[in-house]
């Protein structure tokens, strides 16, 4: 028995569960967006945080990390229980193909689990939907909850993508806008210089692949993504 799960948010730098293997790579036809609410970890019901989810977009790619759990039914059960509790604001599991760097045609792994959310405000109470960059930045700059503030989430994700060698332009743009808001509010935050950014061409996959829905998760208490 074995399962693989793809992380694209805080799982990239803080998986939080026992795993046997980690691989950096990407999935096709999805992009990272900050359209999901977190109401009891880095935000509150009155002032929800914005955390990332995936949006299906043909031709896009999303870099992250895939984790393998093997070694027996009980170990897998505990890891999945932890993930389902942590990722509970995501109301879907989707199975996808995963590609390592340099591979564009044949996937490295198939049937990889990724937690996703229904982009519909009526059926998914955690879905905030898109908003202007300035509005998202102000929400992220000011939201906080029992486990920390929302701005740390975006800055840690920005750093995590830098560390794996695949920065996300949208994350960088949003993080810099958050820094502007914090400056206006007089809170201050460290500024990454442009010389710290990785350069080089992005890997462009050739053939799109369709997602396969696995199941819907029951409603639970939201935690960090």
Pairing assessment for the beta strands 2-7 and 49-70 based on DSSP bridges: antiparallel
- Can 58 be counted among the known catalytic residues? no
φ and ψ at residue 124, rounded to 5 degrees: -130, 100
Give the integer Cα–Cα distance in Å for 97 and 108: 8
Question: Facing residues of 94 across strands?
Answer: 114, 213
Candidate list 58, 87, 106, 219, residue with the active-site label: 87
How far is CA 25 from its chain centroid?
14
214 contacts 113 by C-beta, under 8 angstroms: yes
What residues contact residue 35 under an 8 Å CB cut-off, 6+ apart? Answer: 50, 52, 53, 55, 117, 119, 127, 128, 129, 130
94 contacts 106 by C-beta, under 8 angstroms: no
Give the other-Cβ count within 10 Å of 206's Cβ.
Answer: 7
Give the integer Cα–Cα distance in Å for 2 and 49: 33
Nearest-CA neighbor of 155 among 123, 186, 188, 124?
188
Active-site positions read 87
């Amino acid at each position: 028995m074995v399962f693989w799960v793809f992380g694209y948010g805080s799982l990239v730098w803080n998986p939080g569960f026992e795993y046997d293997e980690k691989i950096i790579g990407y999935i096709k036809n999805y992009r990272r967006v900050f359209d999901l609410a977190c109401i009891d970890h880095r935000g509150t019901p009155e002032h929800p945080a914005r955390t990332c989810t995936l949006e299906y977009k043909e031709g896009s790619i999303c870099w992250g990390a895939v984790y393998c759990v093997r070694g027996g039914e009980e170990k897998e059960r505990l890891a999945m229980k932890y993930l389902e509790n942590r990722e509970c604001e995501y109301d879907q599991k989707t199975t996808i193909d995963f590609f390592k760097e340099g591979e564009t045609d044949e996937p490295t792994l198939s049937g990889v689990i990724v937690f996703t959310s229904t982009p519909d405000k009526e059926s998914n109470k955690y879905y905030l939907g898109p908003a202007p960059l300035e509005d998202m930045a102000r929400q992220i700059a000011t939201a906080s909850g029992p486990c920390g503030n929302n701005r740390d989430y975006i800055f840690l994700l920005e750093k995590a993508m830098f560390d794996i060698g695949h920065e996300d332009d949208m994350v960088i743009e949003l993080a810099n806008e958050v820094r502007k808001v914090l400056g206006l509010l007089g809170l201050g935050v460290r500024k990454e210089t442009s010389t710290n950014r990785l350069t080089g061409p992005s890997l462009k996959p050739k053939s799109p692949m369709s997602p396969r829905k696995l199941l819907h998760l029951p409603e639970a208490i939201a935690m960090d993504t």
